[in-house]
A and B are shown apart, each in its own frame.
Chain A
């Protein structure tokens, strides 16, 4: 008999397009930042300080989004800041994912001793307050891009591990896993071929979420001057600086804040959209 139930599925990925669009734009902007920036992001010009964006009165068309108190071009700084944000997002996000997901998979599928050890480890690790932990870590290893990345990985891998462990456990109870065992597959083989593909949508969603979080953590760290060295423009740094002159030059704070917001939102929406896309049952 014809069965229409398979046709009842979700709307196609509109959010996939929108979020992908912003992120693609961001990637291009970041990659070509040195080429398309109208000014040197570090160049100061005290006579051109606090110029408003080009559509306001008293603006200078050479500085499209205005300048900050030191006369540095906001647009150029944003483009370069975007570059750093992306690097942090991609590298920190991916590393966190790899470490956390692997440990979670092992704990959730193999159970037994591995699970005992890894789970206790996660519990103890998560007992540290994350922000303090990050600050402590950076105090010890010093500031810089690598430090930021390491700090993010160190704090957030447990998020992946917990979720992936739970997913792996529920997958492990499925009959198709038992079927693989009946056919004679080794445990490692089963983990890779039966469990991992089914856990993948969750991992993808978490990964994009993590990328958004990484961007925010970096912004927080640069807000407190613990991020990359202070002459490199970062969105968080710009927000911190813009805070002091918010009444005189709102644009210095608002534009990077807006970019931050859009980026994090796009990452999470991308994750949702990709997760649906990867799941053949929902196609």
Chain B
């Protein structure tokens, strides 16, 4: 059974505009699935729907999210928070805004353990130190006492990774965790995420717009356009022969430094028109079948 099963998920704004159009995807235990798409495709929205942190103007209007077989929407808000707190964690995009600048780093790592899982503070602190060592932070006891602005971007991201793994979640949602980092730091962080994921056996839903990163870290991927799934397959099959025209166009647009004529082809207008057509047809079919 998949650990995370998203079935026909529909999210709309309060004024009816669709943000996610019957999205279905599965993440098996221990699997790394990449969620790929351009800005505005809705990739972050899926993560937020699972975590229960959709923006106020957005609403879940259809479909189901099953975590370890349990339908999240059928739970009370408190029970839902408990489940998510124990089983799911987030590695956010921006290490700068994800940490509270007025608090020391240590408590921020132990928060989840103490508040949601009820650990004793001393036990939580020991665990935090272990984790900081695991993410290759030197002098972890000193770092625990530091404030976020005293640390580099790469170090902050390591701390966020450490916090994510703290409660041994079964699923981690990584929302573009390396987009804000420069290329050498990105490599270190990706390696770290992969090593931790393999060591702890955690399932990983990795949101990104970078196909290069996808090929390094994921086993399967789902491509999104305007909130609609365009293609979902294994990584090997995808890069060898992508099925959908939009997928092919995305690949063509990704620069490859080994190619002297390095591709700089944006997604052609014709491809956009075609996939927009698919989206429009989908919407028409939905409203024809009546709204919920």
Report A-B touching, CB under 8 Å: yes
Interface residues, chain A, CB within 8 Å of chain B?
1-5, 7-9
- B225 within 8 Å of A (CB atoms): yes
Contact B40 A5 (CB under 8 A): yes
Residue from B17, B39, B41, B276 in contact with A7 in the complex, judged by beta carbons closer than 8 Å: B17
Chain A residue numbers with a CB within 8 Å of B226 are 1-2
25 A–B contact pairs at CB < 8 A? Answer: A1-B38, A1-B40, A1-B41, A1-B225, A1-B226, A1-B272, A1-B276, A2-B40, A2-B226, A2-B276, A3-B39, A3-B40, A4-B13, A4-B17, A4-B18, A4-B40, A5-B40, A7-B13, A7-B15, A7-B57, A8-B13, A8-B55, A8-B57, A8-B58, A9-B57
A2 to B58, CA, bound (A): 16
Q: Is the interface of B mostly helix, strand, loop or mixed?
A: loop
Chain A residue numbers with a CB within 8 Å of B41 are 1
Chain A residue numbers with a CB within 8 Å of B39 are 3
Closest to B42 in A: A4
Residue from A1, A4, A9 in contact with B19 in the complex, judged by beta carbons closer than 8 Å: A4
Closest to B19 in A: A4
Q: Which 10 A-B pairs have the closest CB atoms?
A: A3-B40, A8-B57, A4-B17, A1-B226, A8-B55, A4-B19, A1-B40, A7-B13, A2-B226, A7-B17
Q: Is the interface of A mostly helix, strand, loop or mixed?
A: loop
Chain B residue numbers with a CB within 8 Å of A3 are 39-40
Chain B residue numbers with a CB within 8 Å of A2 are 40, 226, 276
- Binary interface profile of B, 194-234, with partner A (CB < 8 Å = 1, else 0)? 00000000000000000000000000000001100000000
- Binary interface profile of B, 233-272, with partner A (CB < 8 Å = 1, else 0)? 0000000000000000000000000000000000000001
A88 to B13, CA, bound (A): 45
Q: How far is the CB of B9 from chain A (nearest CB, A)?
A: 16
- Binary interface profile of B, 27-62, with partner A (CB < 8 Å = 1, else 0)? 000000000001111000000000000010110000
A124 to B292, CA, bound (A): 63
Chain B residue numbers with a CB within 8 Å of A8 are 13, 55, 57-58
A250 to B100, CA, bound (A): 49
Q: How far is the CB of A142 from chain B (nearest CB, A)?
A: 45
Q: How far is the CB of A170 from chain B (nearest CB, A)?
A: 13
Closest to A8 in B: B57
Q: How far is the CB of A14 from chain B (nearest CB, A)?
A: 16
Q: How far is the CB of A282 from chain B (nearest CB, A)?
A: 12
Q: How far is the CB of A49 from chain B (nearest CB, A)?
A: 55
A3 to B37, CA, bound (A): 13
A164 to B18, CA, bound (A): 40
Q: How far is the CB of B4 from chain A (nearest CB, A)?
A: 24
Q: How far is the CB of B286 from chain A (nearest CB, A)?
A: 16
A9 to B17, CA, bound (A): 13
A1 to B225, CA, bound (A): 8
Closest to B15 in A: A7
A225 to B276, CA, bound (A): 73
Q: How far is the CB of A219 from chain B (nearest CB, A)?
A: 35
Q: A1-B276, A8-B13 are in contact. List 10 more A-B contacts (CB 8 A).
A: A1-B38, A1-B225, A1-B272, A4-B13, A4-B19, A7-B13, A7-B17, A8-B55, A8-B58, A9-B57
Q: How far is the CB of A259 from chain B (nearest CB, A)?
A: 35
Q: How far is the CB of B83 from chain A (nearest CB, A)?
A: 26
Chain A residue numbers with a CB within 8 Å of B17 are 4, 7
A-contacting residues, B272-286, CB 8 Å: 272, 276
Chain B residue numbers with a CB within 8 Å of A4 are 13, 17-19, 40
A190 to B147, CA, bound (A): 34
Chain B residue numbers with a CB within 8 Å of A5 are 40
A3 to B17, CA, bound (A): 10
Chain A residue numbers with a CB within 8 Å of B18 are 4
Q: How far is the CB of A261 from chain B (nearest CB, A)?
A: 30
A225 to B135, CA, bound (A): 67
A196 to B38, CA, bound (A): 35
A221 to B13, CA, bound (A): 51
Closest to B39 in A: A3
A110 to B19, CA, bound (A): 44
A151 to B153, CA, bound (A): 48
Q: How far is the CB of A5 from chain B (nearest CB, A)?
A: 6
A268 to B192, CA, bound (A): 50
A8 to B39, CA, bound (A): 15
A7 to B41, CA, bound (A): 15
